[in-house]
């Protein structure tokens, strides 16, 4: 297994290098440092002096890829590419481009914990509710309850998450006044601000996940080992929970593992609508301000988290199914 993890990690490094190069070339092909200076200076009168000052403050006064003015090893290291792209592998994210933003690493570290406080309860609630609902439909398969549940799932997955947010905020915040409409605070009061986005986010994905899990459970329930378990006199609930659920864990882990990066990266939509200052809201703010340094950093961090999550998924396969061997 160690050899497998090392090999997958090396593949992951190659993927990170490719993503890093692609995003760097893309951003600096579309916008030169002078264009970025004009965008960030904004409504002020743009003069060559202001552009030069902005570039010096943020390190964009250097050559992009190769410094012919320097000799020896400084040719590569004294460039924008080295300081803004290669430094990401050292988790040195540098300074943001916008006027009001500061060190990117400090903001990422602070906002990451806010995103985890929102996304981790969503992750847990989503898995429990989706698996439980799917098992309930399978238990009453081929009945009116099963048909109604499938119709409910199709309707749920056909509705945008924005609909749940708007209706939820109007009903629970404006009409019933049970929770604040948006905002964020620390301590125990944090629960009042997180309970609505957590429930709405889990609800918005319930139809998609439950329908997928139901299909997997129905595939397992027709296999020989299930008929053998029933022939031994096991109750239907024991068959579902001891055998069907256990043997369907691999596709469940695959589906749930893809959500792991969002636990750290945050939800763009929910953080923005509920005023939660996590990484998702940070990305939206950076796009609005055209802060390319933050966007490039978040693309790199997101790629890193996706690679790590899929390595963890492969390792988890060996835990739930001893027949799986990583080689």
- As a three-state string, the secondary structure of 124-190 is HHHHHHHHHHHHHHHHCCCCHHHHHHHHHHHHHHHCCHHHHHHHHHHHHHHHCCCCCCCCCCCHHHH
How high is the pLDDT of residue 71?
Answer: 47
- The answer to whether residue 20 sits within a structural domain is yes
Kindly tell me if the per-residue pLDDT of 146 is higher than 70: yes
114 in the same domain as 44: no
Quote the domain boundaries for residue 20: 2-90
Identify the domain boundary among 61, 90, 119. 90
- The answer to whether residue 326 sits within a structural domain is no
Cβ atoms of residues 66 and 53 within 8 Å: no
247 in the same domain as 168: yes
Half-sphere exposure of 74 (CA within 13 A, CB side): 5
Cβ-Cβ contacts under 8 Å for 176 (sequence gap 6 or more):
none
132 in the same domain as 37: no
205 in the same domain as 71: no
- Terminal CA-to-CA distance of the chain, rounded, Å? 6
Q: How far is CA 313 from the centre of its chain?
A: 15
113 in the same domain as 82: no
Q: Is the pTM of this model over 0.75?
A: yes
Cα distances from 20 to residues 13, 92, 193, 264, 300, in angstroms, run 10, 14, 36, 20, 7
Our count of domains for the chain comes to: 2
Share of the chain above pLDDT 90, in %: 19
- The answer to whether residue 76 sits within a structural domain is yes
300 in the same domain as 161: yes
34 in the same domain as 112: no
Identify the domain boundary among 40, 58, 90. 90
Per-residue pLDDT band for 136 (boundaries 50, 70, 90) equals: very high
Give the tens place of pLDDT for each residue, 271-296: 888 989 988 888 888 888 878 888 88
Give the tens place of pLDDT for each residue, 56-103: 888 788 887 765 555 444 566 778 888 888 888 888 888 888 766 678
Give the tens place of pLDDT for each residue, 176-232: 899 998 888 877 788 899 999 999 988 988 998 999 999 989 988 888 888 888 888
77 in the same domain as 124: no
Q: Which CATH number belongs to the domain containing residue 186 in this structure?
A: 1.10.3720.10
How high is the pLDDT of residue 101?
Answer: 62
Q: How many CB atoms lie within 10 A of CB 327?
A: 6
81's tokens: 């590419």
Kindly tell me if the per-residue pLDDT of 254 is higher than 50: yes
Interhelix angle 48-58/33-41, nearest 10 degrees: 100
- The answer to whether residue 210 sits within a structural domain is yes
- The answer to whether residue 231 sits within a structural domain is yes
212 in the same domain as 184: yes
276 in the same domain as 130: yes
155 in the same domain as 76: no
- The answer to whether residue 327 sits within a structural domain is no
127's tokens: 């898995």
Phi, psi of 186, deg, nearest 5 = -100, 180
109 in the same domain as 35: no
Identify the domain boundary among 90, 122, 149. 90
């Amino acid at each position: 297994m160690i050899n497998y993890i090392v090999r997958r990690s090396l593949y992951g490094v190659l993927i990170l290098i490719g993503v890093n190069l692609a995003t760097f070339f893309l951003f600096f092909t579309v916008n030169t440092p002078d264009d970025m200076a004009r965008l960030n200076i904004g409504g002020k009168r743009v003069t060559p002096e202001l552009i030069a000052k902005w570039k010096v403050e943020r390190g964009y006064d250097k050559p992009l890829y190769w410094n012919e003015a320097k000799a020896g090893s400084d040719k590569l290291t004294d460039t924008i590419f080295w300081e803004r792209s290669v430094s990401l592998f050292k988790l040195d994210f540098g300074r943001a481009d916008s006027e009001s933003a500061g060190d990117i690493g400090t903001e990422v570290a602070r906002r990451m914990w806010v995103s985890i406080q929102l996304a981790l309860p969503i992750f847990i609630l989503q898995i429990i509710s989706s698996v439980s609902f799917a098992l309930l439909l399978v238990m009453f398969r081929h009945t009116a309850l099963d048909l109604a549940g499938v119709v409910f799932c199709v309707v749920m997955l056909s509705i945008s998450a924005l609909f749940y947010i708007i209706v939820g905020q109007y009903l629970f915040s404006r009409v019933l006044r049970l929770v604040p409409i948006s905002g964020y605070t620390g301590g125990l009061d944090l629960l009042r601000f997180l309970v609505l986005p957590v429930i709405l986010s889990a609800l918005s994905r319930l139809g998609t996940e439950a329908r997928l899990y139901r299909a997997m459970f129905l595939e397992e329930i027709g296999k020989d080992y299930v008929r053998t378990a029933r022939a031994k006199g096991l109750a239907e609930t024991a068959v579902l929970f001891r055998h069907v659920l256990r043997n369907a864990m691999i596709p469940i882990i695959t589906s749930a593992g893809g959500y792991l990066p969002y636990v750290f990266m945050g939800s763009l939509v929910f953080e923005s609508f509920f005023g939660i200052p996590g990484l998702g809201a940070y990305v939206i703010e950076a796009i609005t301000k055209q802060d390319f340094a933050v966007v490039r950093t978040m693309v790199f961090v997101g790629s890193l988290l996706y690679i790590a999550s899929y390595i963890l998924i492969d390792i988890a396969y060996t835990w739930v199914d001893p027949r799986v061997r990583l080689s």
